[in-house]
Amino acid sequence: MAELFDVVIVGAGPGGLCAALYCTRAGLTSVILDRGPAGGQINNTEAVENYLGIIHAEGPELAQKMTEHVAALGIEVTYANVEKVTREEDGAFTVHTDGDDEFRGRACIYCAGSHPRYLGVPGEQEYRTGGVSYCATCDGFFYKGKDVVVVGGGDAAIEESIYLTKIVNTVRCVHRRDELRAQQVLQDRAFEKENFGVTWHSIVEEIVGENGRVTGVRLLNKKTGERTLVSCDGVFIYVGNLPNSEAVRDLVDTDENGYVVVDHLMRSSVPGLYAIGDVRIDSVRQIASAVGDGATAAVAAVAYVNAQG
């Protein structure tokens, strides 16, 4: 039988790393599992400027500092793809991976994050490897000097648009409303860029291409009903996210979109299982909130484990 830890932490983003730090300092044994690099989505962020105490840092730089912080306490990330979390008759949790490894914990802190929501239009899946992307920081380099379309109007869409303006020829943001939802400071920065523009009241109906590569998008203006074909070399999509909660959906309560229902202490409907960060309901999807969630869940988990004797 697998070793029994006090806490198994699924996810090595800011929330999971913070939870591990608090659990370790409280004297609990823990293991962190993640299929990607420690730091999570911070690694795909160009710059962080809204985390208190950090005036400016590159995303990978901050992720590295967080990883080094927990490593100084002897905490390491175990690379594993978690497929399912189950609860045993004695109340302990077993975390199953695709490599048939199992990790057991008296408590479980689940922070597996989220993934981009698909646009759901013709051509999106066909050109996933030929011009459709969900990460400008990852793929922007391949569009140097080219024309791209960004779909969305929130923080992520505008942050990535700003990043792309430094690389590509032009960035056209397509937004279904008449105003952006991004923070005003981000909007101001974007509109300062000469190669950035917005097509308002519009949605993408189809992504078109030839020879396996994107060549344009078909737009519908929701206000006028006009349809246009816009030429571009790449399409970056930012229309929200969906939770990576598949591993616990048979175990805990979730909302209609799969976000884990928790209380103010990050407790799920199952005693001993906590959900934090982007995977839980009502998350504001910020580094600061994920770290706060991690601390809250860890303190609650420490109390839960200690109460078991």
Q: Are residues 12 and 102 in the same domain?
A: yes
Based on the residue annotation, tell me whether 111 is a catalytic residue of this protein.
Answer: no
Based on the residue annotation, tell me whether 138 is a catalytic residue of this protein.
Answer: yes
**pLDDT computed for residue 19 by the predictor:** 99
Let me know if residue 76 belongs to a domain. Answer: yes
The pLDDT tens digits of the residues spanning 159-169 come to 999 999 999 99
**pLDDT computed for residue 5 by the predictor:** 97
**pLDDT computed for residue 212 by the predictor:** 95
Total domains in the chain come to 2
Let me know if residue 206 belongs to a domain. Answer: yes
Domain that holds residue 140: 132-237
Let me know if residue 289 belongs to a domain. Answer: yes
**pLDDT computed for residue 1 by the predictor:** 72
Q: Are residues 14 and 63 in the same domain?
A: yes
Segments of the chain assigned E as strands? 4-10, 30-34, 47-48, 57-58, 77-79, 82-87, 93-97, 102-110, 114-116, 132-133, 147-151, 170-174, 196-199, 202-210, 213-221, 227-231, 234-237, 241-243, 273-275
Q: Which residues of the chain have pLDDT under 50?
A: none
Let me know if residue 55 belongs to a domain. Answer: yes
Q: Are residues 105 and 253 in the same domain?
A: yes
Q: Are residues 28 and 108 in the same domain?
A: yes
Let me know if residue 125 belongs to a domain. Answer: no
* Annotated catalytic residue, options 98, 101, 108, 135: 135
**pLDDT computed for residue 230 by the predictor:** 98
Q: Are residues 68 and 211 in the same domain?
A: no
Q: Are residues 109 and 137 in the same domain?
A: no
Based on the residue annotation, tell me whether 139 is a catalytic residue of this protein.
Answer: yes
CATH number, domain with residue 271 = 3.50.50.60
How many other C-beta atoms lie within 10 A of the C-beta of residue 202?
A: 25
Q: Are residues 17 and 76 in the same domain?
A: yes
Q: Are residues 197 and 276 in the same domain?
A: no
Q: Are residues 17 and 67 in the same domain?
A: yes
* Residue showing tokens 């024309």: 147
12 CB contacts (<8 Å, ≥6 apart)? Answer: 32, 33, 34, 36, 37, 38, 39, 40, 67, 77
Q: Are residues 108 and 256 in the same domain?
A: yes
Q: Are residues 19 and 103 in the same domain?
A: yes
* Domain end call among 237, 270, 299: 237
Let me know if residue 122 belongs to a domain. Answer: no
Let me know if residue 124 belongs to a domain. Answer: no
The pLDDT tens digits of the residues spanning 41-94 come to 999 887 888 899 999 999 999 999 999 999 999 998 999 999 999 999 999 999
* Annotated catalytic residue, options 90, 101, 108, 138: 138
